Amino acid sequence: MNTYSVSRLALALAFGVTLSACSSTPADQQPSTQTAPGTTARPILNAEEAKNFTPAAYFQSLAPNAAAWTPSAISLPAQPDFIVGPAGTQGVTHTTIQAAVDAAIARHSNRRLYIAIMPGEYPGTVYVPAAPGALTLYGTGDKPIDVKISEAIDSEMDRNTWRRLVNPGGKYMPGKPAWYMFDSCQSKSAATVGVMCSAVFWSQNNGLQLQNLTIANNLGDSVDAGTHQAVALRSDGDQVQINKVNILGRQNTFFVTNSGVQNRLQDNRQTRTLVTNSYIEGDVDIVSGRGAVVFDNTDFRVVNSRTRKRLMSSRRLL
């Protein structure tokens, strides 16, 4: 498998998914060290122009006179509210991540709730609904790869195939918190479920925090080079933080949208996301959607084993 790495990026995306980067990788992989104004082929921003490309600028609110979002580092409690792990293990409250999420949402709490996830493989989807309070999900292993959430989902699946894969044993049922998310996809009239329903981990939770996890769409190279959108992580929430997370897939690996509970993109809502110290892998439209995202100290790896092309997510790569 051939790979092309764009490492330790500080990126900002807003409504056009535009990437800009500064790197601390080896010299042969670093961006140009030219100073402003650069060249015709590679123009460089001067200090005044660069002032517009800061986290504060991207994290402005659409509400008039509202302060910009200024996220602090994720802080974990000494004792989480829920612990996910093998049955019978001391302290474990749930054996699946979805069950812990459902229990947290069912509390209807306005305060942040914490879900600790013990090392292991967690196959299947995770849907985090909109709620009054925010959730923090974090792995307790030494490395992000120690906790892996994965499934193989293709946007080109028909509804029945998708339903059987995503909802084994009535995982999502009427009355459960995430039912509306599942139902918005299973009730689609289109022949295929599409990109909006292809995510392994899908959150509509404002203030969501993810840390020390791996989220993977395992569809990988099992399909041809045609359109096979296969989202690993989809986030529709505002003020979302992702730290030390591996996000793995091929097409549309990381999908950031401003969708509401009807699972439709909106014209009057801005979602803001901060991604730090993470790793994102894919081949086409690696990062896509509609929202403002700042990436700091994050590796992007472009793999071309399926497409045999060098394609990076964005309309422009700077």
Domains within the chain, CATH numbers bracketed: 81-315 (2.160.20.10)
- Residues with Cβ within 8 Å of 98's Cβ and at least 6 positions away in sequence, in order, are 124, 125, 126, 127, 171, 178
Helix (H) or strand (E) holding 126, with range, is strand 126-128
Distances (CA, A) of 87 to 90, 95, 105, 126, 187: 9, 6, 22, 19, 34
pLDDT attached to residue 223: 66
Query: What global pTM score does this model have?
Result: 0.85
Cβ 204 vs Cβ 236: under 8 Å: yes
Q: Among all residues, which ones are annotated catalytic? A: 285
Distances (CA, A) of 71 to 29, 74, 208, 269, 297: 30, 9, 12, 19, 16
Distances (CA, A) of 11 to 72, 101, 256, 268, 275: 18, 30, 14, 23, 9
Question: Which token pair is 166?
Answer: 């995503």
pLDDT attached to residue 225: 62
pLDDT confidence of 305, banded at 50, 70, 90? low
pLDDT (tens digit, 9 = 90+) per residue, 113-146?
999 999 999 999 999 999 999 999 999 999 999 9
Residue range 202-229: mean pLDDT, rounded: 88
Cβ 245 vs Cβ 213: under 8 Å: yes
* In the predicted structure, residue 8 carries a pLDDT above the cut 60: no
pLDDT attached to residue 266: 87
Question: Which token pair is 287?
Answer: 């990062």
* In the predicted structure, residue 19 carries a pLDDT above the cut 50: no
Cβ 74 vs Cβ 136: under 8 Å: yes
- Residues with Cβ within 8 Å of 226's Cβ and at least 6 positions away in sequence, in order, are none
